[in-house]
């Protein structure tokens, strides 16, 4: 990424809702990290649903979640949204597939298409179970375990948070 492209990216990020300021040097560090670490698939700087940075590995799951610098204040909406959604208690034998990032949950590859997984669908580890759109990028989310989908915990086209339960799977089913 050229210095002018990095500067342009910093200007675009500053205009995002919930993000007050980001320095060019921070964008340069992010670009350098992506270039030097091929195992990192993406780095997401959040602002609208909460403040922080999500780094995802290529292939699956989140590598790290860290609070963003103080220059990126969390909007009050994030606290209200977190308080209004009580955590659901899983049945002891069911395993959870959780969101590795903040974004919008989609159960199918496009509107009107068959969903990747429904209640009763048998999935295998590595199989795509949904898409999470983050910053206009469609990220295919893969099951980390094999089993039968027993519960879908998110409505289609609704926002999800990092670590939110998407599916509950019966590994013995």
- 170/39 Cα distance (integer angstroms): 30
Q: Are residues 74 and 30 in the same domain?
A: yes
Q: Are residues 17 and 60 in the same domain?
A: yes
Domain that holds residue 139: 87-170
How many domains is the chain built from?
A: 2
Q: Are residues 51 and 19 in the same domain?
A: yes
Contact 166, 160 (CB under 8 A): yes
Q: Are residues 7 and 63 in the same domain?
A: yes
Helix (H) or strand (E) run with residue 93 in it: none
CA-nearest of 17, 13, 71 to 43 is: 13
pTM value > 0.75: no
Q: Are residues 75 and 40 in the same domain?
A: yes
Per-residue 3-state assignment (H helix, E strand, C coil) for 12-57: HHHCCCCCCCCCHHHHHHHHHHHHHCCCEEEEEEECCCCCEEEEEE
Phi and psi (nearest 5°) for 142?
A: -105, 145
Q: Are residues 137 and 162 in the same domain?
A: yes
Domain boundary, last residue among 49, 79, 109: 79
- 79/39 Cα distance (integer angstroms): 32
Q: Are residues 68 and 91 in the same domain?
A: no
Per-residue pLDDT tens digits for 97-133: 999 999 999 999 998 999 999 999 999 999 999 999 9
Q: Are residues 53 and 125 in the same domain?
A: no
Beta bridge partners of 64: 55
Position 45 scores a pLDDT of 64
- pLDDT in single tens digits along all 173 residues of the chain: 566 766 676 666 666 655 556 667 777 777 777 777 766 666 666 554 454 555 555 544 444 444 444 444 433 333 343 444 444 444 468 999 999 999 999 999 998 999 999 999 999 999 999 999 998 899 999 999 999 999 999 999 999 999 999 999 999 87
């Amino acid at each position: 990424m050229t210095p002018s492209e990095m500067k342009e990216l910093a200007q675009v990020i500053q205009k995002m809702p919930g993000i007050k300021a980001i320095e060019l040097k921070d964008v340069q560090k992010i670009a350098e990290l992506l270039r030097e670490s091929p195992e990192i698939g993406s780095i997401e700087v959040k602002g609208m649903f909460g403040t922080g940075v999500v780094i995802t590995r290529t292939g699956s799951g989140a590598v790290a979640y860290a609070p963003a610098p103080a220059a990126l204040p969390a909007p009050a909406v994030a606290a209200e949204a977190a308080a209004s959604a009580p955590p659901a208690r899983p049945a002891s034998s069911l395993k959870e597939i959780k969101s590795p990032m903040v974004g919008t949950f989609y159960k199918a590859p496009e509107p009107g298409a068959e969903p990747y997984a429904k209640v009763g669908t048998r999935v295998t580890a590595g199989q795509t179970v949904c898409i999470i759109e983050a910053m206009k990028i469609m990220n295919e989310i893969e099951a980390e375990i094999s089993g039968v989908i027993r519960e879908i915990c998110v409505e289609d086209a609704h926002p999800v948070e990092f670590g939110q339960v998407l599916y509950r799977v019966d590994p013995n089913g």
